[in-house]
Structure 1
């Protein structure tokens, strides 16, 4: 058929050439692709001088043949050469859809990824804790590096500014503990033991634990957001450039403030919780405050107070390290600030609860029950 695409193979001087003729457009290709697929061996050149017309399909056919046979294309007009080059540039491997994964395999993979992420994070936290301890040592050996004003300001933010919300939360928790305890103990005629429940539970566990959770959500998130923003705006890089250690200037004051304020806040929260329980017992159980306080002194051992005071600075250290560590991990964009702030709060609360369980077992083993 006139105008149909065709080719002939020419062998000369040990080299093979395919000379194409006719119209290399879709309507005129006919069986040309099948005939080209049947060509074997290396073809050195593709002679396109006698081609009348070529479209995208024809250009793709020529490009694919030249690629597979390592051939050189000759004789194309400038427009035709441009078309072949565009087809070659647009060549990309097609990503086949993935085979569906079974639910068990998917869940197992997600669990494995979560475990790996948790291990990597714990490794980073331990490294950051070591860097913080080194920074404390450097400040202790070079007192002039200690930032007194920054530390005092963190005392105010972490401690004084938190008294209101921690006091309100602790007061309500004390009321809830007393109310729920009285409801259950009334069935056995032992409402008076509500005082034991309020006193021991708040001083030993809930006072410090709820304070730690509140400080993690309030101050830990603030540390991550502040340091993360400074990392994003390259202020931390500027500090290193001028010879100021970010660990000494940013992490040490925040960590010191939380570690020292946590015992005070925990003790304050415990007292307010006892006050709430006292009010509920006075109103609901007709136990006067004097009797309540006397009973507290009789049934609550001093070891319960020491247990809470021992746990508090450890919780504070975990909260400060988590917040500062996540803030230092911020990179790339502002979205990272929000993500790292959330991770800091969740991480701090999780570690605080894990450590609280550890302390409960430890103090039980040493006899501080």
Structure 2
């Protein structure tokens, strides 16, 4: 084994293998040591182990001679640990007597820090990997549900505890959050619902014209916006706009350890940061939903006036005659539920941030996706409930 003899060799006595290490195992000789290890293993007749830079089980040594080791640093110690195996190297080092204490300590520290290599196994079939990923996804969803329910309990407890204590109401924080999440969102909510209302009227007019029932476009627009579209579109916009803002704000505070500082001062982050945001969204969401209803109906009215020769006065007369007031209340009843869910999801994801910009971005994206999914799910369940109740 001439190629690797400069750094290591194997001495077999009475059936036991003893690895002899010599030379300078330092960073400057890293490539030379790698070539020596490769040549040592290849000439021993173990090509697969040479590729892995690891002694095979057939060559596991029972002893190691480090007396010829002239110098060693962490790079060389890591190469030796990978060759022998971290656990086996730690065991062999306990048998060394003549090596200086500082070198023994360095080798032991590197062996303890070096991860144990996994033995190569058989390739995993695709169907097993697919089932494993499905299982991991189900487990992740279950953990999200448990965390959300637990956080919901904390927020409800905080709301109930502070409800009858006006001295703990944070009016300024609530008003500021209402402005950010409510007033500043009025233009985008009004514009989007206006355009969707116009599109619904166009579609209704196109389809109903084949049956000579274009007059029912008024009923279609009013019914759809009072019960579904206004609150759903508003909730989706708020999920993308406000839930992400809540997560980014709380996540940045978590990354800067401001939340830890709040706890150190004996204050509750739930009372101080979460409750004002929940109350603000509970106030802003119904108001924005009402704006969405009005804007969508106005968009439908404009299309009816331009394309169907239905004047605004006729539109309002048909609307008042055919659309019951209960549809308005059924749509508005979902707004506080959506507001509460969006607020707690955004705040919960903010508290999950782990102190890096990447974590803030990941949890902000997660908050938006979860909020939109929950909003659509609850809206579908509410629609089924309304249908079964005959409302």
Contact 1:212 1:316 in 2 (8 A): yes
What is residue 306 of structure 1 aligned with on the other side? 329
Q: Are residue 283 (structure 1) and residue 306 (structure 2) matched?
A: yes
Q: Are residue 337 (structure 1) and residue 365 (structure 2) matched?
A: no
Provide the secondary structure at the position in 2 that maps to 1:79.
Answer: strand
Provide the secondary structure at the position in 2 that maps to 1:301.
Answer: coil
Query: What 5-or-longer segments of structure 2 have no aligned partner?
Result: 23-32, 45-53, 86-115
C-alpha distance in structure 1 between counterparts of 2:190 and 2:345, whole Å: 24
Q: Are residue 224 (structure 1) and residue 216 (structure 2) matched?
A: no
Coordinate RMSD, CA, aligned: 3.3
What is residue 70 of structure 1 aligned with on the other side? 62
Q: Are residue 121 (structure 1) and residue 144 (structure 2) matched?
A: yes
Q: State the Cα deviation string for residues 32-69 of structure 1 (Å, max 9, x = none).
A: 97x93x943698x99x9xxxxxx95699789979x946
Q: State the Cα deviation string for residues 129-184 of structure 1 (Å, max 9, x = none).
A: 11111111222243222111000111111111111110000110100000011101
Paired residue for 1:40, among 10, 15, 26?
15
Are the structure 2 counterparts of residues 98 and 144 from structure 1 closer, same or farther at C-alpha, using a change threshold of 3 Å? farther
C-alpha distance in structure 2 between counterparts of 1:353 and 1:109, whole Å: 28
Structure 1 residue 97: deviation in Å? 5.5
Provide the secondary structure at the position in 1 that maps to 2:65.
Answer: strand
Q: Are residue 25 (structure 1) and residue 2 (structure 2) matched?
A: yes
C-alpha distance in structure 2 between counterparts of 1:289 and 1:167, whole Å: 19
Q: TM-score, normalised by structure 2?
A: 0.76
What is residue 346 of structure 2 aligned with on the other side? 323
Contact 1:60 1:84 in 2 (8 A): no
C-alpha distance in structure 1 between counterparts of 2:244 and 2:4, whole Å: 67
Provide the secondary structure at the position in 2 that maps to 1:73.
Answer: strand
C-alpha distance in structure 1 between counterparts of 2:363 and 2:140, whole Å: 14
C-alpha distance in structure 2 between counterparts of 1:147 and 1:114, whole Å: 39
Contact 1:26 1:58 in 2 (8 A): no
Between the two proteins, the alignment pairs up a number of residues equal to 331
Are the structure 2 counterparts of residues 188 and 100 from structure 1 closer, same or farther at C-alpha, using a change threshold of 3 Å? farther
Structure 1 residue 103: deviation in Å? 3.4
Select the structure of larger CA radius of gyration.
Answer: 1
C-alpha distance in structure 2 between counterparts of 1:72 and 1:98, whole Å: 29
C-alpha distance in structure 1 between counterparts of 2:345 and 2:261, whole Å: 23
Q: State the Cα deviation string for residues 220-268 of structure 1 (Å, max 9, x = none).
A: 1100100000000000000111112110111001001111221121111
Provide the secondary structure at the position in 1 that maps to 2:70.
Answer: helix
Contact 1:25 1:57 in 2 (8 A): no
C-alpha distance in structure 2 between counterparts of 1:81 and 1:324, whole Å: 51
Paired residue for 1:156, among 179, 182, 187?
179
What is residue 263 of structure 1 aligned with on the other side? 286
Paired residue for 1:175, among 198, 207, 218?
198
What is residue 79 of structure 1 aligned with on the other side? 70
Paired residue for 2:375, among 341, 347, 352?
352
C-alpha distance in structure 2 between counterparts of 1:107 and 1:212, whole Å: 34
Q: State the Cα deviation string for residues 297-353 of structure 1 (Å, max 9, x = none).
A: 111111111111111100000110110010010003111111111110110010011
C-alpha distance in structure 2 between counterparts of 1:58 and 1:130, whole Å: 60
Contact 1:60 1:87 in 2 (8 A): no
Structure 1 residue 109: deviation in Å? 2.2
Q: State the Cα deviation string for residues 263-296 of structure 1 (Å, max 9, x = none).
A: 1211110111000000000000000000100101
Query: What 5-or-longer segments of structure 1 have no aligned partner?
Result: 1-23, 49-54
Contact 2:353 2:359 in 1 (8 A): yes
C-alpha distance in structure 2 between counterparts of 1:337 and 1:365, whole Å: 42
What is residue 104 of structure 2 aligned with on the other side? none
Provide the secondary structure at the position in 1 that maps to 2:266.
Answer: coil
Q: Are residue 89 (structure 1) and residue 81 (structure 2) matched?
A: yes
